Amino acid sequence: MFTAAFPPDFSAARRLLANWYGPTCWQLSTGPQYATLGGLWAQLTAEYHRPPGTASLEILQYLLAALLLHIGRLPRPGGLTPQAGGDAYARFHAELERSYATTRRAEDYADQLGYSVKTLTRACQADARVILQAQRLLAHTGDPIATIARQLGFTEPTNFGNFFTRRTGTSPGDFRNTHRV
């Protein structure tokens, strides 16, 4: 949900933002990590909620970058690692990130990567990246659901609706109404 220039380009922050398969929630207890992250969050929130025209984009960028850098140093719950699944998974993940909006056909990824369709079919069917992006777009934009469906590579909005409902247990419209920011 960030523009290319927001936050500033720090490799640790970039890795965290690109880590769609990583943890979505860390549970922090009291202690130095909690105090650091809580303090940064409080500063970020205070700057964001300043009177119109007085918030500094640069301060917001650097506070967000600092927050992401600190989150990136946290231990990963459950021992998740970026290379979970080995080389095939890492290559598939990179290709999926590059072209998920263009194609989601297992055959296309198999041809591109030199794997069998069977090897990649399960990964394509359980495509968490598409669901995550769909949820972000539904919650944070006012784009029509049909437009979001096309952005994510669906030829028909009904196919997107069925896919989303199967994966999340709720329709895109219901999800948007519940999670609208």
Q: Tell me the pLDDT band of 117, cut-offs 50, 70 and 90.
A: confident
| Res 90 pLDDT > 70 | no
pLDDT at 144: 95
Give the mean pLDDT of the chain.
Answer: 77
Q: Tell me the pLDDT band of 80, cut-offs 50, 70 and 90.
A: very low
Dihedral pair phi/psi, residue 62, rounded to 5°: -75, -35
Determine contact, residues 68/13, Cβ cutoff 8 Å. Answer: yes
Percent of the chain with pLDDT strictly greater than 90: 25
* Average pLDDT value for residue range 150-176: 89
pLDDT at 86: 43
How remote is the C-alpha of 62 from its chain's centroid? 20
Instruction: Give the tokens for residue 74.
Output: 């946290």
pLDDT at 82: 37
pLDDT at 180: 78
| Res 93 pLDDT > 80 | no
Dihedral pair phi/psi, residue 53, rounded to 5°: 85, -5
* Average pLDDT value for residue range 5-20: 64
* Average pLDDT value for residue range 19-38: 71
Q: Tell me the pLDDT band of 83, cut-offs 50, 70 and 90.
A: very low
pLDDT at 174: 95
Q: Tell me the pLDDT band of 10, cut-offs 50, 70 and 90.
A: low
| Res 45 pLDDT > 90 | yes
Q: How far is CA 171 from CA 126, 161, 162, in A?
A: 17, 6, 8
- CATH number among 3.30.420.40, 1.10.10.60, 3.40.50.2300, 3.10.20.30, domain 128-179: 1.10.10.60
pLDDT at 76: 60
Q: How far apart are CA 133 and CA 1, in angstroms?
A: 9
| Res 97 pLDDT > 50 | yes
| Res 5 pLDDT > 70 | no
pLDDT at 148: 93
Determine contact, residues 68/12, Cβ cutoff 8 Å. Answer: yes
Instruction: Give the tokens for residue 181.
Output: 């920011």
